[in-house]
Amino acid sequence: MPSRFAVIIAACIFALAALGIAAYVVIELRDRPVASNGDGSLLPATLGGPFALTDHTGRRVTEADYAGQYLLVFFGFTHCPDVCPTTLNQVALTMRALGDRAARVQPLFLTIDPTRDTPAVMAEYVDLFDAGIVGLTGTEQEIADVARAYRVHYARAEVEGVPDGYLMDHSVLLYLMGPDGNFRRLFRPDDKPEDMAAVIAGQIAEDE
């Protein structure tokens, strides 16, 4: 059996790979065509879009089920050793910091490991964070389609000493989508929850 040290080293390598992918995605979004947000800021012209997935209760959902809500979208997987639980805790703290405005925001956790992340597994996982997070899964193709729409990069990484022998390298950014379905803002894993809440509250105030 691999030593605990080997598993820790593998987790560290995975975390560094995830941060590298995040940097790549930030650069890619920066270099893509942009459109005005109406306040002088610039955003990628297209990001996100229609999807058809299964939520953690087993119900089939599409983007239409969340129409009129702000979405805080994160891609990850339940066997993630560090980045995903840390980021979902960040989301939970952000929702608390939003106070009454949290009712306007729906956090979505989309798996990039649908083979293991069944609705039942997702339900048990998102319940750990007690923030109204909806877990979404689907077929390999459905996940690939929505990941492509968000410019999310992910890949299976064979790692000795972890469950099933693999982890998933993936980008670690959070996407804020407006109630109109348009992309509003990227957040990074090191953004403070209170700062994220202030940005989201500002977006809501501007739209009211």
Mean pLDDT over the full length of the chain:
84
The enclosing H or E element of 71 equals strand 70-76
Q: Model confidence over 152-189: pLDDT tens digits? A: 999 999 999 999 999 999 999 999 999 999 999 999 98
DSSP string covering 163-185: GGGEEEEE---EEEE-TTS-EEE
pLDDT at residue 40 greater than cutoff 50: no
Does 114 or 43 have the greater pLDDT score?
Answer: 114
pTM of the model: 0.80
Taking the C-alpha atoms of residue 176 and residue 71, their distance in angstroms, rounded to an integer, is 6
Q: What is the reported pLDDT for 44?
A: 53
Residues in the chain: 208
pLDDT at residue 2 greater than cutoff 50: no
Percent of the chain beyond pLDDT 90?
74
Mean pLDDT of all residues in 21-48: 47
Q: What is the reported pLDDT for 15?
A: 44
Q: What pairing do the DSSP bridges indicate for beta strands 105-111 and 70-76?
A: parallel
Taking the C-alpha atoms of residue 61 and residue 174, their distance in angstroms, rounded to an integer, is 20
Does 201 or 41 have the greater pLDDT score?
Answer: 201
Q: What is the reported pLDDT for 41?
A: 45
> Cβ–Cβ contacts within 10 Å for residue 116, how many?
16
**pLDDT band per the 50, 70, 90 thresholds, residue 142:** very high
Strand partners, 70: 105
Q: What pairing do the DSSP bridges indicate for beta strands 52-55 and 174-177?
A: unpaired
For each of the domains in the chain, give its residue range(s) and CATH number, in order of start.
4-207 (3.40.30.10)
Taking the C-alpha atoms of residue 165 and residue 189, their distance in angstroms, rounded to an integer, is 26
Which amino acid type is present at position 22?
A
- Under DSSP, the state recorded for 151 is T
pLDDT at residue 11 greater than cutoff 80: no
Strand partners, 110: 75, 136
Taking the C-alpha atoms of residue 129 and residue 32, their distance in angstroms, rounded to an integer, is 34
